[in-house]
Chain A
Amino acid sequence: MQNNGVVFKGDLEGLIIILHDEFDFSVIKDELKSKFIQAGDFFDDDMIVRIKLGRRHLSLKEKKELIKIFKNQNGISVIEFINNDNRFVDSKEEGDTLLIKRTVRSGQTIRFEGNIVIRGDVNPGAEIVAGGDIVIMGYFRGIGHAGAKGDVDATISAFRLEPAQLRIANCITRAPDIPVNSPDTPEIAFLKEKHIIIDHL
């Protein structure tokens, strides 16, 4: 039962119950019930409860089911549902991302401290340098440097990965002299023990 799909937190205003949005609604419901059983008579005074739903959207029926659980519990008076409408990951955690909506051509360089996403091709002679990851939604035939500030976990992925040269952190690799037939599938390059590995995405 220790799913941690339900987390209780307190602050000055009252109780915050976080219902993690990755879990199934029925799992959340069961966990919530058992948590209340454990809590017993903890909720004695009139307590304001705020429920954080994350990205989960509840139907009216589901909301009523939750309210029913709360009503069975003594001491809880006001319930507020809080939806986190920001569907994107906090950019401070993952780093900012630059989106380029065009073909990057020979002689052009794209440099950015965070991640770079290119919706287009990167042609031979073009250079993409990112502090974070690089994602190319098209052909990647240029030079790519991910994790340019030393992030060894950075990756370079492309719908078609046919680069002249790949660099991740301080490691470097180049295309073989004899052209290989690269697969018609997306691929990802990442660093493993100081070697750049290319795998299916």
Chain B
Amino acid sequence: MGKCIVITSGKGGVGKTTTSANLGTGLAKLGKRVVLIDADIGLRNLDVVLGLENRIVYDIVDVVEGNCRLEQALIKDKRYSSLCLLPAAQTRDKTAVNPDQMKELCEKLKKDFDYIVIDSPAGIEQGFKNAIAGADRALVVTTPEVSAVRDADRIIGMLEAEGLYDPELIINRVRIDMMNRGDMMNIEDMIEILAIKLLGVVPEDEKIVISTNKGEPVVLSDSSQSGEAFWNITRRLEGEEIPLISLEEGMLDRFKRIVGLR
């Protein structure tokens, strides 16, 4: 039986889809059978980030409505054959699926996959409720902004109300220089407020933009800080104990970067 993980945040634009794509790809890189579900019906993105948009024939609504078999809607990834995507419908909205159908879908997928990673839409309405319906474990993505932390707090409360206790936190788009200057919320303050386990910290990285546009998850590139962070999170998901990478760039690293070694 596989495990079903939902990636959620409340606030939009904090990096749920990027995180989903990278963790899904990372798990596949570890040799796991993974299916990514895009639960953002009407505003689908995950297919784009994975570079699979032109392969979509059927989507999640087709599966739920019985227009196709589940296997027909699953799109195989270009890079890893053990990775699949169940895309969202673009022409429908969140009400096209209900939580019970979602739960049933997850149960079915659990038989064939090690991991089911659900990319939740922003907000706390039906889309969110659908996304968490079948999940066994929740990851909350936030950024070091007061508004994002506030929303994350709300989401953690709602997850607990739905019986998803002990969600884990991913802090995305961290700028260590701003944090050191005191211009950005620091990690300790965020953890103190949210009071959940920290799974990882991902630095702000322009490579994310490039990789998203190219449809190549950054976790596959060895040279980026954000890719390394996502890779570490992936391995922590699998139960490995990996210390948080020091985000402070040492003098040696800076020197290497200047001379082009990194």
Contacts and interface: CB of A to CB of B under 8 A. Distances in A.
B133 interface: no
A139 B153 CA distance: 14
A103 B151 CA distance: 15
Contacts of B151: 106
Contacts of B3: none
A124 B157 contact: no
Interface in B136-174: 150-151, 153-154, 156-158, 160
Interface string A76-109: 0000000000000000000000000011111110
A121 B189 CA distance: 13
B195 A107 contact: no
Contacts of B150: 106, 124-125
Interface of B: 150-151, 153-154, 156-158, 160, 192-193, 195
A102 B195 CA distance: 10
Contacts of B154: 105-107, 125
B22 to A, nearest CB: 27
Given A105-B156, A108-B157, 14 more contacts: A103-B195, A104-B157, A105-B153, A105-B157, A107-B154, A120-B195, A121-B193, A121-B195, A123-B193, A124-B153, A124-B193, A125-B150, A125-B154, A141-B193
Interface residues of A, number: 14
B123 to A, nearest CB: 13
Nearest to A141: B193
Contact of A106 (B153, B160, B195): B153
Contacts of B192: 139
Q: Which 10 A-B pairs have the closest CB atoms?
A: A105-B157, A106-B154, A106-B153, A107-B154, A105-B153, A123-B153, A108-B157, A103-B195, A106-B150, A125-B150
